[in-house]
Amino acid sequence: MIVPETANKIKSMEIRGAGRIARAVAEALRDHALAVQAPAPAAFREEMERAASTLLATRPTAVSLPNAVHIVLADLGHAKTTEEARADVVQRADDFIRSSQHAVEQIAQFGASHIRDGDTILTHCNSEAALGCIIEAHRQGKEIEVFATEVRPRNQGLITIRTLNDAGIKTNFIVDSAVRSFINDVDLVIVGADAVTVNGAVVNKIGTAQVAHSAREARVNMVVAAETYKFAPRTILGELIRIEERPGSEVLPDEIARTLPLVTVRNPAFDVTPAEYVDLIVTEKGAIPPQMAYVIIRDYLGWGIDEFHTPFGPAGFNCE
C-alpha cells in the first residue's frame, strides 16, 4: 500500500487500532522502499524520512506508530548502498509484521490464563489483544460472558460484539455510561492500550479511565493487554503523550452545530488511566505490574536514555 493512501486511511480511522496501525505503517514503509528510485543511500534515506513524516503526522497518541517507524528504519543510516538499505527496510518491516501478529497470539495465551471458568468480563473499545485473551479463554472451554461497551462516538463496540458473536461468546452490549450500573456483575475488566507510559499509566480509548475507576470502586481487577511496542519511550524523559482531539462532527453533525453558535463540541479520542487503577499489563513477554513498564522500554524496545540521541531513535520522531 502506498504511503499517502495508508496515511489517509489511518487519519480517517479506516485503519484503526494501535496494532493494525503499526502493521500498516510497516507495510507502507516496506512498499515505499521497494518503489523508491534513488542512486545513493543518502537520497534513499531522505525519501524514507519524508514517507515516515507523512505517516507520523496522522495520529499523535498511538505510540505504536512511531515505534514501528523506529523499528523499521533503525539501521538505515548504516547502509553503504541503496540496495543494502532497501533490503534492510524490507527485512525489518516483514519481521515487525510477523512479530506483531505473533505478539497478539502470545498475549492471548497469557491473558486467557487470568480468566477463570464462569467469569463475566467487561471490555471497552475494540482491541485485538484484549479480544484475543477472551476468545482464547472461550476456545479453552471456559464458560464466560462478556459486557461490551458501545464506544461513542465512533461505535467501535459494534466491531467488538460482531467478533465475539462470531466466536460464539454470550455478550451484553451496553452504552458507555452504563458501566457503573453493571460493574458489580463483572469479575474482570480487560482492555487494550494505545500507549503505556514509563510509570505504567495507560492511554486508551476515551472512557477507559471511567471504566477503571468503576472497577476499582467495585474491587474488580483491571487487566490491560498491550504489545511491547505500545510502550512510550519518550515518557522516560518526562514528556507527556498528547491526547488527540478529533473533529466535533463525529459527536454532533455540522448542520446542528451551526445552529448552536455558543456551543463548542469537545471530542478527545483517548484518556489516561493512572497506574494505580491497573492491576496487570499482559504483554507478549509475560504479565507485569504497571510499575515494571520501564523494564519493557529498556529491555525489549532496547531504548535507554542514550538512544534518545540517535537519528531514528525516539528523539527523531516525537511520540507525544
Alpha-carbon gap, residue 258 to 64, rounded angstroms: 36
For residue 221, give the nearest of 187, 255, 267, 271 by alpha carbon: 187
Cα radius of gyration rounded to whole Å, the chain: 20
As a whole number of angstroms, the distance between CA 140 and CA 181 comes to: 30
Q: Please report, in tens digits, the pLDDT of each residue of the chain (320 residues total).
A: 589 999 999 999 899 888 899 999 999 999 999 999 888 889 999 999 999 999 999 988 879 899 999 899 987 878 889 999 999 999 999 999 999 999 999 999 999 999 999 999 999 999 999 999 999 999 999 999 999 999 999 999 999 999 999 999 999 999 999 999 999 999 999 999 999 999 999 999 999 999 999 999 999 999 999 999 999 998 998 888 999 999 999 999 999 999 999 999 999 999 999 999 999 999 999 999 999 999 999 998 865 444 443 344 443 333 33
Task: Name the residues annotated as catalytic.
Answer: 125, 194
Its sign, for the CA torsion 1, 61, 297, 213, is negative
The residue among 168, 125, 187 whose CA lies nearest residue 150 is 125
SS3 8: helix
Cell numbers for 192: 487494550
Beta-carbon neighbour count of residue 2 at 10 Å?
11
In the chain, the domains with their CATH numbers are 3-105 (1.20.120.420), 106-303 (3.40.50.10470)
